[in-house]
Amino acid sequence: MAQESSSNPTDIEASVSSLNFLFNGHLLTYCIGIACKLNVAGIIAEADKSLSLQELAEKIPGEINFSYFKRIIRFLCAFGVFQESLIEEEGRYSLTRLSELMRNDIKGRISLKNGFEMMVNPTSINAWSRLENCVRSKKLKIPYDEAMSDSSCHHAKEGSIVSTESSPHEHSQQHEDEYSHEHDESIYETHILMKYYAHGFKELEDKKAHILDLGGHSGSTLGVIKESFQNLACSSLDLASTVETLKQKPEGVEIVSGNYFKPETIPNADAILLKHIAHMYPDQEKCVELLKNCKQALSESGRIILCECVIPKIGSIDVDSENCKRAFMADISMLLFGVEARTMDEFLAVFYSAGLKVTEFIETPEAMTQIFILEKI
C-alpha cells in the first residue's frame, strides 16, 4: 500500500529536495573516480602537508583544466572526502579518513582506489547506459557484456562475464587481471575477515590445518592471514590461465592450478575459503554443484568459510538501516555483470541442497562480507 502523500507545502519541498539529492548521487561517483585517476590523495600524502589547488594541479602529470579541477575538489570537500582550510588567506587541501582510502602508495594499507577507477572507466559507464535496454528485454542481457560488444569501446573483447559456455569464474579472473585491483580489495576484505573471524583462524592454526582459497587469484588474502597465523598451511586455487600470468606470490602460500567445477583438481583441505564466489552463480543448481565440490574436498570435520552479501527478504526492508542500503547497492552493482545477491532464506536453501549446515553466522558492517561458517550435515 502506498504511503499517503502530504499536501503540506513544506513536506512537499522536503520530499523534492530529498529525491533530488538521491538522484544526483552519481555526481559523487564520477568525481571520486576522477580524483582517484588523478591520484589527488597520493599527491597530498607524498607532500606530507596541505596543498593549494594550484600546487595540486601542478603536480598532476599532463594538462589540467584548473577551473574544472577546482570545482571537483571543492565539491568533494563538501562531502568530507577532502578537507578545505583557509591558511593565510589561501585555500589549502588535505586528506580526511575517507581520502586516505584513495591512496595505494603503502603496501598492506587498505585501498579502494583501483576499484573506484574501474567503476568509472568507459566500459563501466557504457554498461550503465545499457541497463534500460536490458531491463526491457525478456531475454537475459548483461549490461557489461552489451558494453563490451560496442565497437566504439576501444578495449572491447569477445566473450561475456557470465556466459552459458564458460564459467563466470573464468571470465571474472580475466577482467580482474585487466583492472588489477584484486590485491587492494583482498587486503580490505581480509581486514574484515580477520577482525570478525580471528577466533576461527586461531582454532585452525592450533590444529596446523590446511586452508584453501578457491578462486584466490594471487593468494593475497591468504598471504595476509598467514602473517598472523603462521602455522596454517595455505593454498590458493585458480585457473591455470590465471596462475601462469602471476608475477609474484605471498610468502608461505602455495598457488595451485585447478577449477572448482572439476572436483578432481581441488586439493583436500580442512577449511575452504569462498570469498565472493557464490554470487557469481545465480542459478541455484550451479551454486549447489560448487558447494558440493567444496564439501567433497573437505576433511571430515572441515568447514567452509563463505563471505557474501545478504539482502533482506521481501517485506523486511528497513529504510533506516545503513547496512540494508549498502546490501542493495552491492546487489545493483552486481547486476551490471549478470550476477546477484541472495536473501538469507535463499542461502539456507542452497546450503541444505548441498548437504551443508550453518554452524555460525557473523554479521559485519561491510555489506559484501557477511560470513557463513558451513559444515557437513
From its phi and psi, is residue 268 left (phi > 0), alpha (psi between -120 and 50) or beta?
A: beta
Q: Which three cell numbers stand for residue 225?
A: 592471514
Report how far apart, in Å, the C-alpha atoms of 28 and of each of 32, 75, 218 are.
6, 8, 31
The H or E element containing residue 358 is strand 356-362
- Name the band, by pLDDT with cuts 50, 70 and 90, for residue 174: very low
- On the 0-12 / 13-18 / 19+ scale of CB atoms within 10 A, 261 is middle
Same fold, 9-116 and 182-376: no
Distance CA 310, CA 322 (A): 13
User: What mean pLDDT value characterizes the chain?
Assistant: 87
- Name the band, by pLDDT with cuts 50, 70 and 90, for residue 316: very high
CATH of range 182-376; options 3.40.605.10, 3.20.20.30, 3.40.50.150, 3.40.50.700: 3.40.50.150
> Do the beta carbons of residue 211 and residue 271 sit within 8 Å?
yes
**DSSP-derived secondary structure for 260-303:** TTSGGGSPPEEEEEEES-GGG--SHHHHHHHHHHHHHHEEEEEE
CB atoms within 10 A of CB 330: 21
Report how far apart, in Å, the C-alpha atoms of 120 and of each of 22, 26, 257 are.
19, 10, 32
Per-residue model confidence (pLDDT) at position 185: 57
Stated length of the chain? 377
Verdict on whether the full-model pTM lies above 0.85: no
CATH class as words, domain 9-116: mainly alpha
* pLDDT tens-digit readout, 176-193: 333 334 445 566 778 788
Nearest to 253 by CA among 215, 288, 218: 218
Instruction: Give the chain's end-to-end CA distance (angstroms, integer).
Output: 42
DSSP 39: T
Distance CA 254, CA 243 (A): 11
* pLDDT tens-digit readout, 216-246: 888 988 998 999 999 999 999 999 998 998 8
Per-residue model confidence (pLDDT) at position 5: 59
* pLDDT tens-digit readout, 79-92: 999 999 999 888 99
Catalytic machinery residues: 279
Distance CA 363, CA 354 (A): 22
* pLDDT tens-digit readout, 24-70: 999 999 999 999 999 999 999 999 999 999 999 999 999 999 999 99
Distance CA 367, CA 362 (A): 12
Query: Among all chains, which residue has been given the C-alpha cell 591520484?
Result: 39
- On the 0-12 / 13-18 / 19+ scale of CB atoms within 10 A, 260 is buried
Domain borders along the chain are 9-116, 121-158, 182-376
Give me the phi and psi of 111, to 5 degrees please. -135, 140
